[in-house]
Chain A
Amino acid sequence: MSLPMLRKAVNDLRWTVVWYAVGLAVYGLLICSVYPTFRNSQQAFQSLLHTYPKAFLQAFGVSADMGSLPAFLGAEYLNVIWALIIAVFAIMAGTGTVAQEVERGTADLWLSVPASRWSLLSGKLVAILSGTVVLVLATVATVAVGGLAVGEPQPVSRLLAAGVEMLAFAVAVGGYAVLLSALSDERGKAAGIAAGLTLAFYLAWIIGGLVSRLGWLRYLSIFSAYKPQAALTSGSIAPGVGLLLVLGILCAAAGVLAFQRRDILG
């Protein structure tokens, strides 16, 4: 891995990561601040939730029993909203690695340095991974602070388990974003396909939950393997985390290979 490239990539990403972290923290604290109201009127809300079909609630990551902070945060923050926000970050950062350099014409200068393509790209990937870890830690810290503020402190082991779930999901999305970037000359095209793929995963997860005969669709979605709420509730890490990590790492490795072999057209 190229250290000069890592330094530059970290420098390029730093403000993006800061603003995402601030956004995630503010949103997380906002949700935490709403939780006491929900908790105090829990019976009324629970009655309301029970009027919805169970499958409908499951489809959108809402558990019928929302009497705990992990369940509330899962429904309102971590299961869907956080995943979509981090997907946007991973797609924008991942597709910026190669396709943006080619599209902007900076690839000539970038690749004029005496370093192998894989070492240059891996420098960028480590920077993105570091940024993702910062965002996950910012989220975990937000949940920890929010839990303390509402009188339901979360054990560190459960927070860390949820962090691992979040990181694995981001790695999966970032991985296929990098692969698409390595194959493309246009960042917009790579980002569009990556976003479309993420949306398809989301829809497969929703539809698979709503329509019983299409339940198999859930097995095709990365959202099915992502269970931060369960991790925050029980401290256990779902086996799907391994699949997410394998998917992300394999895609990123394929991206590096593709970049190693591709032409850089001016």
Chain B
Amino acid sequence: MDAPVRVESLTRYYGQRRGVVDLTFTVEPGEIFGFLGPNGAGKTTTIRQLMGLIKPTRGSAHIFGLDCWLDAPRVKASVGYLPGDIRYYERMTGAALLAFLASFREGQVLGRARELAARLDLDLSQQVRHLSKGNRQKLAIVQSLMYGAPLLIMDEPSAGLDPIRQVEFLELLREEQQRGVTVFLSSHLLTEVERIASRVGIIRDGELVAIEDVARLRALRERLMDVTFREPVAPERFAGLEGVRVVAANTDGKQLQLGVRGPLGPLLAVLAALPVEDLTYGPADLESVFLHYYGVAELETVAPVPPMEVAR
């Protein structure tokens, strides 16, 4: 069986401007592949080439063995596509829009669409122009899933969804995966990709930085923890902890910012013995992953030092 997605030396320039350069990767059947990178990294350019919207400058992209540019109509027959920042025909109702899109496919597409809409609590009778941002995104999710396509290509799919719906959406994706569907999910949110994907391709400045298993990615990325103490605590108390570094500390010793990689248990054990007044633990930071690959100097412009005094 041909790979759901196979990209070889894929390169796209917009005139002199870089889009993506020399991307090579394969997405295996039944996996959820995260395509991770900051805004402007080239994720959407890659997806637009997969969907046959733009022609590669060099290299090739294949879906189930079909060339994405030359065989675009056949490629699309096996893809449920969710565009980033989706725009609709504003005067159509959700139901009319889905009926129009479904009319190009075979099968019980609309029945599935109604089920999905009910599950996401989406009213299909409203004109699209009256839908909120979150409901527009729900409609995008419904239209991409309703075909029962063997491959889903999703560009920032949870943008605009509230946290509860994000969880619901990820659950839907897991169910799709159980049915054997392959998912190519583009996002700039490390936490989102971590929660659902098994492998992750990391892209930055148009180039593929790495392809990692999510377990390895978890070991690489750093999360920031802000701790406030009732009494001053010396930063050196955390010096011996593996995977923990002091990012910043204020002068009175009552506030610390820690960078945490790996298991949390040893750090919590230390904190339990200290006079902790408050604590916040931030989401995983994509830039901290880049830090691993590029080093601090190259990322200084990307990851500014937090507004605390740096520990001496």
Contact = CB atoms under 8 A, between A and B. Distances in A.
Contact of A111 (B51, B85, B100, B143): B51
B77 A114 contact: yes
* B interface, size bucket: 20 to 34
Contacts of B131: none
Contacts of B86: 105, 108-109
B112 interface: no
Contacts of A114: 73-74, 76-77, 104-105
Contacts, number: 69
Given A4-B104, A106-B89, A109-B86, A265 B54 contact: yes
B312 to A, nearest CB: 48
Nearest to B89: A106
Of A8, A107, A116, A266, most B-chain CB atoms within 10 Å: A266
A115 interface: yes
A121 to B, nearest CB: 13
Interface residues of A, number: 22
A8 B51 contact: no
A263 B104 contact: no
Contacts of B48: 264-266
B44 interface: yes
B206 interface: no
A236 to B, nearest CB: 44
6 contacts: A2-B104, A104-B87, A109-B86, A109-B143, A114-B105, A116-B73
Interface of B: 14, 44, 48, 51-55, 72-74, 76-77, 79, 81, 83-89, 100-101, 103-105, 143
A-B pairs, top 10 by smallest CB distance, nearest first, are A105-B87, A114-B77, A4-B103, A108-B83, A113-B104, A263-B54, A114-B76, A264-B53, A112-B81, A116-B73
Given A105-B85, A113-B76, A114-B105, 19 more contacts: A2-B104, A105-B86, A107-B53, A108-B51, A108-B53, A108-B86, A108-B87, A109-B88, A109-B89, A111-B51, A111-B52, A112-B79, A112-B101, A114-B104, A115-B73, A261-B55, A263-B55, A265-B14, A266-B53
Interface of A: 2, 4, 7-8, 104-109, 111-117, 261, 263-266
